[in-house]
Homo-oligomer: A and B are copies of this chain.
Amino acid sequence: MKQEQSVGVVEKHTFTFATEEPMHLESGASLGPVTIAYETYGRLNAERTNAILIVHALSGSAHAAGYHRADDAKPGWWDECIGPGKAFDTDRFYVICSNVLGSCYGSTGPSSVNPATGKPYGLSFPVVTIGDMVQAQVKLLDHLGIDQLLCVAGGSMGGMQVLEWAANHPTRLKSAIPLATTAHHSPMLIAFSEVGRQAIYADPAWANGDYYELGKKPDAGLAVARMVGHITYLSEESMQKKFGRRLRSLEQYGYEFETEFEIESYLKYNGNSFTRRFDANSYLYITKAMDYFDLSRHTGSMAAAFANAESVKFLVVSFTSDWLYPSYHSKEVVSALTAVGADVSYLDIQSTWGHDAFLLEVETMTALLGSFLDRLAHEEGVTFPPVEGEDRGEDRPASAPERVMV
C-alpha cells in the first residue's frame, strides 16, 4: 500500500433493497431483492452537500480508491484521481462508488443466487439497462440520505450513467462529468460487443450460462472477448509506442504459433487475467446494457432527453485518439446540452492513449476536474468537512478556484 495521498484501507459495504416490493426494470421485468456493493471515501459535510458519485465502466467495481487490506499490491481502479489532494479530493468531498447492477463485484447480477431457486441466476437474470443501473444508484443515495449530489462523474460506460443521471434525475445532481463516452452506442460499438459475446457463446464451457456449478467456466471465450476489448481501448499510436513490432524474447521470428510479439503477449496476459476476476455472464449483461443505451430513444432527440437538465452544470471531456468513442460523440452531447441552455464546458484533450486516456491522463484530469469541482463548490457554497487532526469546530468554507483550468 502506498500511503501518500491515499484514502488508505477502505471497506466494501452493501445495501439491499426491493426485499418486499421488487424493483421494476426498464424491460418490464422485476427483480428483488437487489444488493448494491459500494464504498465511500472522505466525509459528508453537515449539510450533506459535498457528495460525489463515481460511476464505473464495463469491468469496474465499487473499489475505486484505497486498499482493502494494507498488503494489497494494487489500489482501487481510479485511485490516481480519488484521494486527499487528488482530482476528487477526499479532504473536501464525500466520494461514493457503487458496483453496477448486473456486475459480479458484490452487486446483484447473473452470478448471484436467485432466492427463488437457491441457484445462481445465469441467463434467468433479467436484462438490465443503464437506466436500471442508475435507478439502483438512486436507491443507494436515498439510503445514504443524500438528496442531491454535488457531482456524478465517470468515463466510458460510466459516462453513459452520468448522462442518464442528468437526463432522468436532473434534480438529484448539481453537476455531471461524462468522460470519453457517447449518448448512443454506435453500430461499431455494438459490433465489438457482439463479437465479445459470440466468443463467450462459442465456448462450450459457457453451457448456455449455467456453468456456475459445473466446475468449469467459459474462460477461453471470455479471454478472447477481453482481448478484443483491449484493442479498442488503445490507439494505433499508443500500441506503436508501447509495443511496436518488438518480439518477446527471440531475436528472430520463431516461425511457429507461439506468442512471439509483445503485443500478443500483452493481450493474452490481459485476456487470461480477466477470467480470474470477472464473470462471463456479467460480461454479456453489461455489454448488452451498453448496446441498448440510446439516450434519445424515448424522447426522439437528445435535446429533448436533456429538457430538464438545464440546471445541471456539465464538464464534457473527450480524447483525440479515442476511436471507440470518437470526439464527435461528445460534441453531439455538447450540442444537445447547449440547445437546452445548460452550462457546459467541453474539452477535447490531445492524447495518444486512445480510449484509455481517461484513466491515464492523470495530470491533465487532476487539473481539469479539480478546477471544475473547486469552482462548483465555491459557486454552490459547499462547506468542506474539518480536516482530520484539526479541530476547528466548524466546516471549512470552499475556497475560490486554485487550480489552473486546462
Contacts and interface: CB of A to CB of B under 8 A. Distances in A.
Report the contact-size class of chain A (Cβ under 8 Å from the partner): 35 or more
Nearest to A323: B323
B192 A264 contact: no
A362 to B, nearest CB: 24
Interface string A262-291: 111001100100000000000010001001
A188 B233 CA distance: 11
A87 to B, nearest CB: 30
A228 interface: yes
Number of this chain's copies in the complex: 2
A92 interface: no
A395 to B, nearest CB: 46
B198 A268 contact: yes
A209 to B, nearest CB: 9
Contacts of A191: 227, 230-231, 239, 263-264, 267
Interface in A13-35: 27-29
A236 B160 CA distance: 19
A85 interface: no
B253 A292 contact: yes
B263 A231 contact: no
Given A204-B204, A224-B202, A239-B187, A257 B288 contact: yes
B245 A197 contact: no
Contacts of A244: 187
A186 B294 CA distance: 34
Residue in A224, A262, A268, A271 whose Cβ sees the most chain B Cβ within 10 Å? A224
Interface in A157-197: 184-188, 190-192, 194-195, 197
Nearest to A262: B187
Contact of A227 (B126, B194, B263, B268): B194
Contacts of A203: 202
A198 B223 contact: yes
A123 interface: yes
A255 B195 contact: no
A199 interface: yes
A220 interface: yes
B243 A224 contact: no
B261 A291 contact: yes
B27 A231 contact: no
Contacts of A127: 255-257
Nearest to A123: B257
Nearest to A194: B264
A75 interface: no
- 7 tightest A-B CB contacts, nearest first: A202-B220, A27-B255, A187-B239, A127-B255, A187-B263, A194-B264, A187-B243
Given A186-B239, A188-B231, 13 more contacts: A127-B257, A185-B245, A187-B240, A187-B261, A191-B264, A194-B227, A194-B261, A194-B268, A195-B224, A195-B228, A198-B227, A202-B203, A224-B224
